[in-house]
Amino acid sequence: MFCGECGTKNEKDALFCENCGAKLEHEEKKTVKKQTNNKKKKETTKRLSKKQKILIIVGCVVLVLLISIYQLGAYLTNPEQIVKSYIDAINNRDYNELYEAANYSGDKTFISKDLYKKEIKDLLDNDIKINNYNIASTTYEDGGLTAKVDANISATNGSDTSTDEVTFTLTKLKDKKYLIFDNWTLSNQDLINLEVVKNYEINVPKNTEVTFNDIKVTDKYLKKNSNKKLDTYSLPQVFAITTKVKFKLASGINLEDELTPSSYNNEYKLNITKSDFSSEEQEEIIKAINDGVTKAMEGLTTNKSFDDIKSNFASNYNDDLKEEYEDYLSNLADRNYTISDFKITDTSISYISFDDDYNISVRVKINYSYTAKSKEDGETDSDKDYNYYEYSLAYDNGYKLADANGFPSIYAYFF
């Protein structure tokens, strides 16, 4: 064995150099050391497991997928593509897409997708068809908050075909779409314009049920009102279209009307006419008037005070009714005859409307008969007459007299 320091040859089993005394390193130890180093090297260059390989592949796929989704999202949400989708939706009669493009917000109870679809179907009749279109240009204004997309559109309406340039204006909303993309919305719709009227008010008599375009209007929309006989419903948003509205009065009478909301006329006041009432309902009204007038005349001809007979009238009667009664009673006291046997022989309705208190106001022709008796000599005179009067009826567990502009006039002459 040779010394690694001085090169002197030593005995095979010597541990130290006989010349310089350096420690000798045997081949076996070198081999062990070499094997140890090779083992460490193998450990550091160990191959990846199957699971690790799968995770790396999945990660790469997910990354590619996310990039693709982002690119697709950016494409679908840019102004040009929104306009293209909108035009295609019109041509394909995709009402769901059109409704989404309208971007309605807030309470949509009365501007629902179904109502929108129903109206748009009428506007987009089968004669209208877009033959072709192309996007000409896109410009951005207001610091990138507004986009204007110019499109050339060839369309056929019946037998007429024309090509027009249409400019679509889009506005960028504050909220992001799908959390990361710009949210553009069409701020004008040149091919379809369905106006929305906000805070549309419907005024009806107290406790009237309202159904607007087949949607029941709940107390949620009831507005505070100083008039205790009036209910005002405020509908947050309605379409500016001719709409059928149904009403059910507290008396059970059903009425129907058509109204057209607009930004210039955003309030409706229910009114009624004679034609709104069936013959049976008119008979019920006539009976209520006859009963009220007859009770009033009985009190007048027997010199009773208003307080004595007021239970025969509506509990919320108008003060004018009391005043009319007391004036008539005072007038009778000054006459030289008394009245008996008052009887209504026939009553017919001229017209029906609402009065200022939303009671039913009815103008009637009353035919009646009576007997007058002289206070001086007891002479009697029977007669009949007719006249026109206007009465108001309130519903109080049935129709009852609430106001009167007069009671049947009676004249008798004794010589």
Domain boundaries, the chain: 1-39, 76-186, 196-270, 279-404
- pTM flag (> 0.75): no
- The topology (CATH level 3) of 196-270 is Immunoglobulin-like (2.60.40)
pLDDT in tens, 149-170: 999 999 887 788 889 888 999 8
- Please state the rounded mean pLDDT for residues 313-333: 93
Cβ contact 393:404 at 8 Å: no
pLDDT in tens, 187-230: 766 557 688 999 999 999 989 999 999 999 999 999 987 777 88
Let me know if the fold of 76-186 is the same as that of 279-404.
yes
Q: Which of 37-51, 278-292, 345-359 has the lowest mean pLDDT?
A: 37-51
pLDDT in tens, 7-63: 777 777 777 777 777 777 765 554 545 555 555 555 555 677 888 888 888 889 998
How many Cα atoms sit within 13 Å of 271 on the Cβ side?
10
Tell me which H or E stretch contains 120: helix 113-123
The owner of tokens 């019920």 is: 284
CATH second-level architecture of 279-404?
Roll (3.10)
Average pLDDT, the chain: 87
Residue 17 CB neighbour total at 10 angstroms: 20
- Please state the rounded mean pLDDT for residues 121-125: 76
The owner of tokens 């005394």 is: 21
Treating both helix axes as pointing N-terminal to C-terminal, what angle do 79-92 and 95-102 enclose, rounded to 10 degrees? 140
Q: Is 174 left (phi over 0), alpha (psi -120 to 50) or beta?
A: alpha
pLDDT at 342 over 90: yes
Quick one: DSSP state of residue 153? E
Reduce the secondary structure of 268-291 to three states and give it as a string.
EECCCCHHHCCHHHHHHHHHHHHH
**pLDDT of the residue at 415:** 45
How many Cα atoms sit within 13 Å of 216 on the Cβ side?
5
The owner of tokens 């009852």 is: 400
**pLDDT of the residue at 326:** 95
Q: Which two tokens stand for residue 250?
A: 């507290």
CATH code for residues 76-186: 3.10.450.50
